[in-house]
Structure formats: C-alpha cells, structure tokens
Amino acid sequence: MNYDFKKLEEKTLALAKHFESDIASLRTGRATPALLENIPVEAYGAKNSLKNVASLTVEDAKTLLIQPWDKGLMESISKAIEASNVGAQPIAAKDAIRISFPPLTEERRKSLIKVLKDKMEEARISMRQIRDETWKDIQDKEKAKTISEDDKFRYKEEMEKKIKEGGDKLDQIAAKKEKEIME
C-alpha cells in the first residue's frame, strides 16, 4: 500500500496561496488594488470589503482610483480608508476617491520587511502543523498495521521532502516580496 500525500500537497499549496494573498496588501513602491480591496467599509448597516462596494483601478504607479457603485457610500469609504492606516490620505472628487501614495521612506520599508518576516513565521508554523498532522497519520497507519515500519520511514522521508519543497516555495514568495519592497 502506498501512502497518499495528496492531502499534504493540497494543504501546502493552499498555504502558499494564502501567504501570497496575505502579503499582497504589503505596500511596495507601486500602487495596487490589493492594498485596499479588503478594507472593511460600513455599508447598508453591515461591514463589507471595499472591493464589494466599489471598483478599484490603478491610475498610475502611485495613484489608485476608487469609484463607489453607490455614490452615497463616498463618506463611509473615505473614513474606512483613513482608519485603515495605509499611509495615504483619500481625496474625494465628485464621484470618485483618489489615493496618492507618497514614496516609501527607508523607515517604512524596514517596518514592512518586519511585517513580512512576521507573516513568514506564521506560514512556517502552519507548515510545521501540516507536517505534524501527516507524520501522526503515517504513525497511526503503522500502529494499525496497514503499513510496515520500513514503509513508515520511507514515507517520512518523502513527507520531509514535500514539506521542504513547500517551505522553499514560501521562501521564494517572501524573497520576491522583499525585493519589491526594497526597490
């Protein structure tokens, strides 16, 4: 009987995707809708993500344009952006809101790198939990005599290889983001 690593592979892939989307909101040198799209906005008596109540477009490298679908939400959106502490002030026009991001200071870059490293550590902890779950499953199968002791150690090696690949993927994502922040 072969051990099925499908669950492990799905979990490591999902973790990498989650990590990538999680750090997308870290501001690099250029404006991107990912910086704002998940800001909670008070709309119709409930909290909604900004992306659910407005369109976000990149006007130029440093400017985002937010166009609410309901013009009555302009003030709520402006307040939500101010409260989110993204490092830029919203400027309301007739039917849209512009946000111009100032260039990143060296101090701000360093604080973003620190946040990136914290998020990376959270991802590594999740990766270790995935490894621990898989190893426990392999050990349980050996105790239940569905796999041999030799198989257990062979599967452990394969598991460690897959976990290392997942960790390397996280490292690549983090290194790419760090490079973007420092440019």
Mean pLDDT of 119-148: 94
Q: Is the pLDDT of residue 159 over 80?
A: yes
Block residue for tokens 């290392």? 164
Q: Which amino acid is at 59?
A: E
Q: What angle do CA 73, 21, 134 make, to 5 degrees?
A: 135
Where do the domains of the chain lie, and which CATH numbers do they carry? Answer: 6-24+105-182 (1.10.132.20), 33-100 (3.30.1360.40)
| pLDDT exceeds 80 at position 88 | no
**Residue 132: predicted pLDDT:** 96
For residues 168-181, average pLDDT = 92
Mean pLDDT of 95-122: 87
**Residue indicated by tokens 């598991």:** 159
| Under 8 Å between Cβ of 62 and 31 | yes
Average pLDDT for residues 145-166, to the nearest whole number?
Answer: 93
Counting residues of the chain whose pLDDT is more than 70, the rounded percentage is 98
Q: Tell me what pLDDT residue 174 has.
A: 94
Residue for token pair 């302009």: 74
pLDDT at residue 45, rounded to an integer: 87
> Could you tell me where the DSSP H helices lie in 41-148?
50-53, 74-84, 106-143
Per the model's pLDDT, the better-predicted residue between 13 and 2 turns out to be: 13
Q: Classify burial at 151, counting beta carbons within 10 Å of its beta carbon; exposed 0-12, middle 13-18, buried 19 or more.
A: middle
Q: What's the token pair of residue 41? A: 């906005």
- Mean pLDDT over the full length of the chain: 88
Question: For the segment 11-54, what is each residue's pLDDT rounded down to a tens digit?
Answer: 999 999 999 888 877 766 677 787 788 888 888 889 988 888 99
Euclidean distance between CA atoms 115 and 136, whole angstroms: 32
The whole-number pLDDT of residue 29 equals 66
Distance CA 71, CA 78 (A): 12
- Tokens representing residue 145 in the block: 């005599």
